[in-house]
Structure 1
Amino acid sequence: MKCYIFTLTAAAIAVVSVAAAPHAPHEKRATGDKLVVGYWVPWSDTPVAALDMTKYTHINYGFGMMVKANPKPTDIKFDPVADGVHVKELVQRGNQYGVPILISLGGWTGSQTFSPAVADAASRKTFINNAMTFVRTNTRPEGEVPNGWNMDGIDIDWEFPGRPGAVCNTYNSQDSANYLLLLKELRAQLDLEFPNKHKYITAAVRVQPFDDASGRPMRDVSAFVPYFDWVSIMIYDITGSWSAATGPNAPFNTPSSPGEPFSFIQAVNAWKSAGWPLNKMVAGVPFYGRALTSTVDMNAANPPSIHAPHTGVVPKGGPSDSNKPDSNCNEGAVYSGFWKWKELRTNILTSNPTTPVAGWVRHWDNQTQTPWLFRSSDKTFISYDDIQSLTVKVNYVKQQGLLGTMFWENSYDYNNELVNVLNLARCSTNCPTPTPTPTITTQTMPPVSTTTSSSTKTFITDSPSPTPGNCAGVAAWNSATVYATAGTKVTYNGRLWTNQWWTQGETPSGSAWGVWKDGGAC
């Protein structure tokens, strides 16, 4: 991205104090609806005009960057010419559709000087004045650099206060304490300048709470709660070249050893246990996968496992993946292994979201509730999220009362397949009618190995539901059957069970987070 150094300044405004409103005035989200927060970036290959704004409740524009190349640590790197055109267009569309647009400050390689920028009162004041430029009203003539971009809030994407994160980042043990001071002062300034319109403060955070001065996750983050509208937990990038074995990019349940000890459930519980309320918690999900190169043929294992030794070298991901060093923070000429969902759909999963082209085999890991792909010829492993895995996460968000979901990023989707799943949570009004219960049919499919035998898989097709509580005519649960549609009824151990999302091989039980809901004795 082409960027210029643009030092943002602020003007003094008269002091007025009011309570913050629950939503920005132009926000059209129905009360009780879950959030769907997407990121849009200026290098996106999806233009602003092509965004289906009805799919989002909020959009974060990335990024205003804090980099060491800036003249001062408090400066925000932003191109007022190129980026400003996109911001103006995005804000206009947001206003039209009632979708608030926030500026996201930082990012993986753009958080280099956050630590010194918030280290003392004078620096925080300067930084806040610079950040306020993004939310102020534009009062300058058309064509000039505006003194305000009319955005609806500030998303702080300082992902690792107290830790290095990217190799270029400055950090110290007082980062979290200074972060809290920044939030108090930023909230006061926003309320001061906008007494009649609520401006958001949100954040992207890691799967563990902020670090304390000792470098360990804080046990109590409740002091931060009043200043944030919500935090988006980035529950992805869990497994990579740093891991002992291949594994899920974004697991729902925590993997067994040798997997990394993080997951969707773990992250929610970690923040909740530290005093973060669920109604200010947004769960972040990826619209992409990551590749690694295994040292063994993972298709040959019996049964297949998502965990295997890997070479430590990340292979090239999808067509857009590049090993060109980042201009803001050179972490080396390495590939990311990134596969956007739309690249998976146009190169591997070309016929439908679950059937790969020849040479690839799709697997489902029941423990982590995630799909993975493997190609034996070059031992390429890809872990990703799809319709099936996101449905599991969205159901959890609804059941547990989280505020909503966030995803990275808008241009990675394919025909809105994944964002449509996130919108299933937005049903406090106009909820869809239940899907009819399916019956079982059997199809003979080509084998997934190089042997000449055929394999049989069971799938589900729609049919009328049986009478509730009546097991007559309901098929017994079968571990080999793919129960693809939520609402499918089965019998097991003399009881009636209904699946809540896609499943295969998961035994019906009374588990609180299991896929099967107990309908009582037959």
Structure 2
Amino acid sequence: MAYYVAERNYKPEEIPVEKLTHIIYSFTNVIDGEMKFRNEEVAGAKLEALVKQKERNPDLKVMIACGGWGADGFSDMALTEESRAKFIKSASEFIAKYQLDGMDMDWEYPGISGAGTMARPEDTKNFTALMKGLREMLDQFETPKILTFASAGWKRYYDFIELNEVMKYANYTNVMTYDQVSGVSIYTGHHTPLGDVKSGDIAGTPFQAHLDSLYSNGDNLDPDPRSAEKIVDFLIQEGVDPKQIVIGSAFYGRVWKGVPPVNNGLYQLSGGLQIGWMAYHQIREKYEADGKFKRYWDEKAKSPYMYNTEDSLFVSYDDTVSVALKTEYTMEKGLGGIMFWELGNDTKEEGSLLDAIYKAANE
């Protein structure tokens, strides 16, 4: 399941749709209480061109995502029965207009402000009511429609949604098992790990001291690092059907500067906020090909990282090995599948991240 942001040099015929089961065009927004594109003339034409690619893969499901990080309007839209009905009607018209197979709700986050978005205590119940209304609307179409929602890869999020109620209406929850060490962390760590690392495994590191302080003052409900395995086990324990869980892979990395060489830069205090995120195709081109960067593998986290001693740069990312492992894990665990943010960040060369996922899924 690929999230996809149309690229500048948009060539829908080059999108590798044969290797996907679902593609989620990103994003619409909540505008005046309705689901809309900010620039429909441009985005609408691109979405239509994407839907045409189903000729190359008739089984492909083309969906639309609403929201994303920093997207506001959700709390107000979900507040009353009337405001929800307005949004649901607009979503129905949108899906009919573009002949889509479903939609993904990417509200970040009900009850918790993400990037300054409005959040209310009532969001918890209102999110359930919204998902119920969307399900009922989608079920009125002649062909089956898919409803998914993007969920967080950390436990606190689930205190703010009625998980088992919402899962009655959603086909899948797309768990964002990336940014597990966030864009505002001055500590290095794995941002998209599969493996369940315990606090004892990283004892004595600056990162562990940081986690301890977050845990002791109540900012984090979990003393251990986050991971895909950890959140999946938690969701199953909470009663979610494994077949409804889709885990995330990152087609981008996070880079920190001013990182000391201790432990090859892993779990260290950097020289300031990270440089930022970098698309995988850039990592392959600039870093994987640069002899100054050495790749390491963390057996516990089941995750790669790179360190450049000369420039004190540390990179956390997914590569072809880790995405294949995640894919194998989803099959062994009986999960719904694997998704990723986002397809346009992959390399167009041979041996892409999508190729590694596809190969692992079809071996």
Question: Which letter does structure 2 place at the counterpart of 1:206?
Answer: A
CA distance in 2, matches of 1:190, 1:342: 36
Query: How big is the alpha-carbon RMSD for the aligned residues of Structure 1 and Structure 2?
Result: 2.1
CA distance in 2, matches of 1:43, 1:53: 15
Aligned-partner SS, 1:377: coil
Does the alignment pair 1:62 with 2:26? yes
- Residue equivalent to 1:509: none
Structure 1 unaligned segments of length 5 or more: list them: 1-36, 137-147, 316-336, 351-356, 433-522
Equivalent in 409, 413, 431 of residue 342 of structure 2: 409
Counterpart among 166, 175, 179 of residue 127 in structure 2: 179
- Relative to structure 1, the CA distance from residue 126 to residue 200 in structure 2 (aligned partners, 3 Å threshold; closer, same or farther) is same
**Residue correspondence of structure 1 range 408-487 to structure 2 within 5 A:** 408-414=341-347, 415=349, 417-427=352-362, 432=363
The answer to whether structure 1 residue 234 and structure 2 residue 167 are counterparts is no
Aligned positions, number: 338
Is structure 2 residue 308 aligned with structure 1 residue 375?
Answer: yes
Considering only CA atoms, is the larger Rg found in Structure 1 or Structure 2?
Answer: 1
Tell me the distance in 2 between the aligned counterparts of 1:241 and 1:129.
36
What amino acid is the match of 2:332? Q
Match of residue 438 from structure 1: none
**Aligned partner of 1:150 among 95, 99, 112:** 99
The CA distance in 2 between the partners of 1:107 and 1:38, in whole Å, is 14
In structure 1, the partner of 2:108 is 159
Distance 1:209 1:239 in 2: 14
Paired residues of 2:304 and 2:322 also in contact (CA < 8 A): yes
2:281 corresponds to 1:348: no
Instruction: Give the counterpart of 1:274 among 238, 263, 266.
Output: 238
C-alpha deviation, 1:280, in angstroms: 0.7
Q: Tell me, yes or no, if the aligned pair for 1:359 and 1:377 is still in contact at 8 Å.
A: yes
> Equivalent residues in 2 for 1:37-56 (5 A)?
37-43=1-7, 45=9, 47-56=11-20
Asked if structure 1 preserves the Cα contact closer than 8 Å seen for 2:112 and 2:160, the reply is no
CA contact (8 A) 2:33 2:86 kept: no
Q: Measure the CA separation in 1 of the matches of 2:66 and 2:18.
A: 25
Higher helix share: 2
Going from structure 1 to structure 2, the CA distance change for 1:295 and 1:254 (only over 3 Å counts) comes to same
Determine the structure 2 residue equivalent to 1:251: 193
* Alpha-carbon distance in 1 for matches of 2:160, 2:118: 19
Displacement of 1:117 in angstroms is 0.2
8 Å CA contact 1:404–1:425 kept in 2: the answer is no
Give the drift of 1:95. 4.7
Which residue among 80, 93, 104 is the counterpart of 2:40?
80
Distance, in Å, in 1 between the alignment partners of 2:324 and 2:246 is 15
SS at match of 2:40: coil
Report the Cα distance in structure 2 between the residues aligned to 1:115 and 1:217, rounded to whole angstroms.
13
Q: How far does residue 96 in structure 1 lie from its aligned partner after superposition?
A: 4.2
**Contact 1:74/1:113 (<8 A) preserved:** no
- In the superposition, the TM-score normalised over structure 1's length comes to 0.61
Q: Tell me by how many angstroms 1:86 deviates.
A: 0.4
Quote the residue 1:122 is aligned against. 82
* CA distance, structure 2, for counterparts of residue 156 and residue 341 of structure 1: 25
1:118 and 1:38 map into 2 onto residues whose CA distance is: 27
Q: Contact 1:209–1:221 at 8 Å: present in 2 too?
A: no
1:425 & 1:272 partners in 2: Cα distance?
Answer: 24
- Indicate conservation of the 8 Å contact 1:203/1:228, yes or no: yes
Partner of 1:101: 62
**TM-fit CA distance, 1:307:** 1.1
8 Å Cα contact 1:294/1:310 also seen in 2: yes
The answer to whether the 8 Å contact 2:5/2:27 transfers is: yes
Aligned to 1:4: none
Aligned to 1:287, which of 228, 251, 259? 251
Q: CA deviation at 1:217?
A: 5.3
Query: Residue type of the partner of 1:197?
Result: T
Who is 2:216 aligned against? none
1:225 aligns with 2:167: yes
1: CA distance, partners of 2:9 / 2:254: 20
Contact 1:394 1:424 in 2 (8 A): no
Partner of 1:515: none
Report deviation, 1:388.
1.5
Cα 1:102–1:109 shift into 2, 3 Å: same
* Aligned mates of 1:206, 1:241 — CA distance in 2: 15
**Matches for 1:300-311 after TM superposition, within 5 Å:** 301=262, 304=264, 306-311=266-271
- For 1:210 and 1:131, the matched residues in 2 are separated by 29
**Conservation of the 8 A alpha-carbon contact between 2:173 and 2:245:** yes
Question: 1:210, 1:79 → 2: CA distance?
Answer: 34
Cα distance in 2 between the residues matched to 1:272 and 1:161: 21
1:89 aligns with 2:31: no
The 2-side partners of 1:217 and 1:84 are apart by: 33
Give 3-state SS (helix, strand or coil) of 2:274's partner.
coil
Measured at CA, do residues 241 and 282 of structure 1 come closer, stay the same or move farther in structure 2, by a change above 3 Å? Answer: closer
Distance 1:210 1:97, change over 3 A: farther
Partner SS, residue 275 of structure 1: coil
CA distance in 2, matches of 1:397, 1:126: 37
User: Are 1:363 and 2:307 matched, yes or no?
Assistant: no
**CA–CA separation in structure 1 for the residues paired with 2:232 and 2:123:** 23
